[in-house]
Chains A and B, each alone.
Chain A
C-alpha cells in the first residue's frame, strides 16, 4: 500500500506529550543537581558536580541500593519458584483450574497503596491477627522495631501481590508448549524428570526471563506499599531508593541532592529497562 498519510502527523501528539513529560524534568533535574538548594527560602548556590561526589560517598545510598537488590532477590526467588510450581499444577484448561486462576487474579491490579494498607492491618502488632496469633505461641513479630521482621513483612506482601501474576504468565507459556513434544517423549519412555528438564523448562525459558526482568525493575522502584507498611523501617531496613529520594525531598527539603539521587536512580533503572526491552522486542520478531 502506498503511503496515504505522513506517519509523523499520527505520532506527533504522543511524542510531544511524552517528550514534555520526560525531557523537561530530566533536564531540570540535571540543572537542580548542580545546585546546593534547600526549599527553605535561601537562594540556591551553584556547586557543580559536588552533589554527585556527595552521593558516591553517601553510605545510605549504597545501603538503600543494596537493600533494594536484597529485597528484589528475595521476592523474585520466592515468587518465581511458587509461580513455577503452581503454573505446572494449574495450567490445564479445566473448569476448576479456571475458577482458581480467576480467584488468584484478584491482587494483580490492586492499587499498591491498598495492598500496603491491607497488610498493615494484618501485620501491625496491636491489631494484626498474624502477630497476635504468633504472640499466643510465644513469638513476637514486630514490623516497627525488628528489621528482619520489617523486611520479611514487606517480602510476604510482595509475594502476595505478584505471585499470581507470575503464575498466569507461566501458565500461558506452559499451555503454549506443543503437546506433541510430550507425547513423543512418553513414547520414547523418557522419565518425568527428563521430560521436565528437556521439554518444560526450555519451553518456559523465555517467559521466565521476561517476567524476571520486568519484576526486577518493578521491585527495585517499589514505593507505595512500602511507604505505608514500614516506610524506611527500623534501622532503615526498607529504605529503598524511592523511599530515600522522597524522604530526602519531603523531610529535608534538600532539592539539589534529591535531584542528583533521582538522576542516579533513573540511570540504573534505564539500563535495566534497556536490557529488558532488548529481550522483549528482539526475540519475538
Chain B
C-alpha cells in the first residue's frame, strides 16, 4: 500500500515536470510584454493574442513556415522513393557486402552534424547550393535516408515472402510485383517512416540557420534562432514562435507513439 501511494505521488510529480514547461510556454505566449517582466502569474491576467500576430501575419515568418513544409515534405518523399527499393534489397536479397553496406549507411545517421559544417559550407558555396531549399534537402538526407532504409527494412522483414512468390508465379515482373504487392502492403509503414523523416527534417537547426540567409530559403528553425539571437527581444513573441515551431511535430508524435521505441532504438527494442 505504501509503495502504491509513493508511486502515485512520484508519477504525479513527473507528469507535472513534463507538462509544466509546455504550459508555461503557452502562458508566456499569451501575456503582454509588461506582464512577462513584472509579476509571476500562472495564467495571464489579460490574455492577448498579439504575440501571435507578427509570427503569423506581419513578418517573413510565413515564408519560413512555407519553406519548412516544403523541405520536410520533399525530404520525406525523397527518402521513401530512394529508400524503399534499397530497403527491399537489404531485406530480401543476399549479395556480397550487404551487411557491411547497411552498417556503413547507419553510421552516417549517428555522425555529429557539426563535424560536417566546414566542408559542407565550402562545398555548398561552390556548388551554388548555399541558401537554397535543395541544398538543405540534400544535407538532411545524410541522416534521414539511412534511417528510412533501416526502418523500412524492419517492416519488410516482417512480411511473409509467400505473396511475392505467388505474384511471380502468376507472371508478374519484379517491378509489377514491387508496385502492386509490396507497396500496398507497406502503406502504413511508408506513412510512418515518412512522418518520422518529416519530423527530423522539420527539427533540423544547424544547417537551416547557417546555410540559408534569405527568406525564400530559410526554414522556421533558422528564423526562430535568428530571432532569439537578437539583443532586444519580446519574450512573448519568442514563446509564440516556439509553440508554432513545435506544433506540427507535437501533432505527429502522438500518431507515432507506437513506433517511437522501434524507430529510435534502430529496431533493437520493439
Q: A25 to B93, Cβ gap below 8 A?
A: no
Q: B119 to A28, Cβ gap below 8 A?
A: yes
- Of A12-20, A72-80, A182-190, A194-202, the segment with at least 4 beta carbons within 8 Å of chain B is A12-20
Known: A105-B253, A127-B37, A274-B107. A18 touches B142 (CB 8 A): yes
Please indicate the chain B residues that have their CB under 8 angstroms from the CB of A259 in the complex: 118-119
Q: A118 to B242, Cβ gap below 8 A?
A: yes
Report the separation of the CA atoms of residues A264 and B110 in the bound assembly, to the nearest whole angstrom: 15
In chain A, positions 18-34 with a C-beta closer than 8 Å to chain B are 18, 21-22, 24-26, 28-29, 32
Is residue B133 within 8 Å, beta carbon to beta carbon, of the partner chain? Answer: no
Report the separation of the CA atoms of residues A165 and B221 in the bound assembly, to the nearest whole angstrom: 23
In chain A, positions 245-279 with a C-beta closer than 8 Å to chain B are 245-246, 249-250, 255, 258-259, 262-263, 265-266, 269-270, 273-274, 276-277, 279
Please indicate the chain A residues that have their CB under 8 angstroms from the CB of B267 in the complex: 280, 284
Known: A32-B119, A32-B122. A109 touches B256 (CB 8 A): yes
Q: B86 to A13, Cβ gap below 8 A?
A: yes
Mask of B32-73 contacts with A, CB within 8 angstroms, 1/0: 000011001000000000000000000000000000000000
Report the separation of the CA atoms of residues A106 and B203 in the bound assembly, to the nearest whole angstrom: 14
Most chain B CB neighbours (cut-off 10 Å) among A8, A122, A241, A281: A281
Q: Which label, helix, strand, loop or mixed, suits the secondary structure of the B interface?
A: helix
Mask of B57-96 contacts with A, CB within 8 angstroms, 1/0: 0000000000000000000000000110110111001010
Q: B252 to A1, Cβ gap below 8 A?
A: no
Partner of A211, one of B15, B21, B175, B269: B269
Is residue A114 within 8 Å, beta carbon to beta carbon, of the partner chain? Answer: yes
Q: A89 to B10, Cβ gap below 8 A?
A: yes
Q: B114 to A111, Cβ gap below 8 A?
A: no
Q: B18 to A121, Cβ gap below 8 A?
A: no
- Of A55-63, A96-104, A137-145, the segment with at least 4 beta carbons within 8 Å of chain B is A96-104
In chain B, positions 14-34 with a C-beta closer than 8 Å to chain A are 14-15, 17-19, 21-22, 24-25, 28
Please indicate the chain A residues that have their CB under 8 angstroms from the CB of B252 in the complex: 109
Q: A266 to B112, Cβ gap below 8 A?
A: yes
Give chain A nearest CB distance to B188 CB in angstroms: 18
Please indicate the chain B residues that have their CB under 8 angstroms from the CB of A105 in the complex: 253-254, 257, 260
Q: Which chain A residue shows the least CB distance to B28? A: A121
Q: B269 to A18, Cβ gap below 8 A?
A: no
Q: Which chain B residue shows the least CB distance to A245? A: B114
Q: B123 to A25, Cβ gap below 8 A?
A: yes
Known: A10-B88, A89-B7. A102 touches B257 (CB 8 A): yes
Q: B15 to A269, Cβ gap below 8 A?
A: no
Give chain A nearest CB distance to B26 CB in angstroms: 10
Please indicate the chain B residues that have their CB under 8 angstroms from the CB of A246 in the complex: 114, 117, 206
Q: B114 to A110, Cβ gap below 8 A?
A: no
Q: B118 to A249, Cβ gap below 8 A?
A: yes
Give chain A nearest CB distance to B109 CB in angstroms: 8
Q: A21 to B107, Cβ gap below 8 A?
A: no
Q: B40 to A18, Cβ gap below 8 A?
A: no
Report the separation of the CA atoms of residues A86 and B12 in the bound assembly, to the nearest whole angstrom: 11
Q: A112 to B205, Cβ gap below 8 A?
A: yes
Report the separation of the CA atoms of residues A1 and B225 in the bound assembly, to the nearest whole angstrom: 53
Q: B21 to A109, Cβ gap below 8 A?
A: no
Q: List 21 A-B contacts (CB under 8 A).
A: A1-B161, A5-B93, A11-B89, A29-B116, A86-B14, A108-B253, A109-B203, A110-B246, A110-B249, A111-B245, A111-B249, A127-B28, A172-B269, A206-B268, A210-B265, A249-B118, A259-B118, A266-B111, A270-B110, A274-B107, A277-B107
